Structure 1
Amino acid sequence: MPHIVVLGAGVIGLSSALRIQAEGHAVSIVARDFPSGSETIDAQSQINYTSPWGGAHNRLVPPTNPAEELEHAMSLRTFDHMRAVQARHPEAGITFMKGIEYLEAPNEAYRALTEERAHTQLGMKGFRLLEKGELPEGVEWGCEYDTWCVNPMVYCSFLLRRFAILGGKVLRREVRDPREIFSWNLEAGPIDVLVNGSGIGFGDKNVFITRGQTCLVANPCPATVTRQNADGSWTFCVPRNFDGGTIIGGTKEPNNWDPNPSLEVRDVLLQNFAATYPQILDGEGKFTVIKDIVGRRPTRKGGIRLEKEEVGEAQTIIHAYGLGGRGYELSWGVADGVARLLAEHLSSSTPNKGEAKL
Structure 2
Amino acid sequence: MSSPSIAVIGAGVIGLSVALRLQEKDHHVTIIAKDFPSPSETVDPRAAINYASQWAGAHNRFCPPRDDIDDALAARDHAMSLVTFDRMDDLARRHPEAGITFMKGVEYLEDPGPEYRSLSPVRAAELGYREFRLYRRDEFPDDRVKMGFEYRTWCVNPMVYCSFLLRRFVRRGGRVVRRELLREREAFTIPELANPVRVVLNCSGHGFGDPNSFITRGQTCVVANECSETVTRQKADGSWTFVIPRNFDGGTIIGGTKEPDNWHSEPSPDVRTRLLDTLASTYPPILQTGGGKMHVLSDIVGRRPTRKGGMRLEKEELGDGRLIVHAYGLGGRGYELSWGVADAVLELLSSGRARL
Relative to the length of structure 1, the TM-score reads: 0.95
Which of 348, 353, 356 pairs up with 2:354? 356
- The yes-or-no answer on 1:112 pairing with 2:118 is yes
Q: Could you list the per-position Cα deviations for residues 124-170 of structure 1 after superposition, in whole angstroms to 9, with x for gaps in the alignment? A: 11000011011111111010000000000100000000000000000
* Deviation of 1:338 (Å): 0.7
* Counterpart for residue 258 of structure 1: 264
**Does structure 1 retain, via aligned residues, the 8 Å contact 2:217–2:262?**
yes
* Counterpart for residue 271 of structure 1: 277
* Deviation of 1:283 (Å): 5.1
- Determine the C-alpha separation between the residues in 2 that align with 1:310 and 1:180: 15
- Determine the C-alpha separation between the residues in 2 that align with 1:199 and 1:77: 21
- Determine the C-alpha separation between the residues in 2 that align with 1:32 and 1:283: 38
Distance 1:198 1:283, change over 3 A: closer
- The yes-or-no answer on 1:90 pairing with 2:92 is no
* Deviation of 1:312 (Å): 4.8
**Does structure 2 retain, via aligned residues, the 8 Å contact 1:214–1:248?**
yes
Which of 111, 129, 137 pairs up with 1:132? 137
Q: Could you list the per-position Cα deviations for residues 22-77 of structure 1 after superposition, in whole angstroms to 9, with x for gaps in the alignment? A: 00010000000000012111111000000011111111211122111111100000
* Deviation of 1:192 (Å): 1.5
- The yes-or-no answer on 1:296 pairing with 2:303 is yes
- The yes-or-no answer on 1:246 pairing with 2:252 is yes
Identity between Structure 1 and Structure 2 (%): 63
Q: Which amino acid is the alignment partner of residue 299 of structure 1?
A: T
* Counterpart for residue 334 of structure 2: 327
Which of 297, 310, 316 pairs up with 1:309? 316
- Determine the C-alpha separation between the residues in 2 that align with 1:213 and 1:318: 31
- Determine the C-alpha separation between the residues in 1 that align with 2:194 and 2:137: 60
- Determine the C-alpha separation between the residues in 1 that align with 2:338 and 2:247: 20
* Counterpart for residue 51 of structure 2: 49
* Deviation of 1:9 (Å): 0.1
Count of aligned pairs: 348
Relative to the length of structure 2, the TM-score reads: 0.96
Gaps of 5+ in 1: 346-354
* Deviation of 1:208 (Å): 0.3
* Deviation of 1:184 (Å): 2.3
* Counterpart for residue 209 of structure 1: 215
* Counterpart for residue 148 of structure 2: 142
- Determine the C-alpha separation between the residues in 1 that align with 2:351 and 2:176: 25
**Does structure 2 retain, via aligned residues, the 8 Å contact 1:26–1:188?**
no
* Deviation of 1:356 (Å): 0.7
Q: Secondary structure at the match of 2:42?
A: coil
* Deviation of 1:116 (Å): 1.3
Q: CA RMSD in A?
A: 1.1
Please, which moves more after superposition, 55-64 or 8-17? 55-64
Q: Which amino acid is the alignment partner of residue 303 of structure 1?
A: G
Mapping of residues 128-207 of structure 1, within 5 Å: 128-137=133-142, 138-207=144-213
* Counterpart for residue 348 of structure 1: none
- Determine the C-alpha separation between the residues in 1 that align with 2:351 and 2:7: 17
**Does structure 1 retain, via aligned residues, the 8 Å contact 2:4–2:195?**
no
- The yes-or-no answer on 1:224 pairing with 2:222 is no
**Does structure 1 retain, via aligned residues, the 8 Å contact 2:37–2:163?**
yes
**Does structure 1 retain, via aligned residues, the 8 Å contact 2:7–2:31?**
yes
**Does structure 1 retain, via aligned residues, the 8 Å contact 2:108–2:148?**
yes
- Determine the C-alpha separation between the residues in 2 that align with 1:338 and 1:42: 32
**Does structure 1 retain, via aligned residues, the 8 Å contact 2:100–2:161?**
yes
* Counterpart for residue 11 of structure 2: 9
- Determine the C-alpha separation between the residues in 2 that align with 1:45 and 1:189: 32
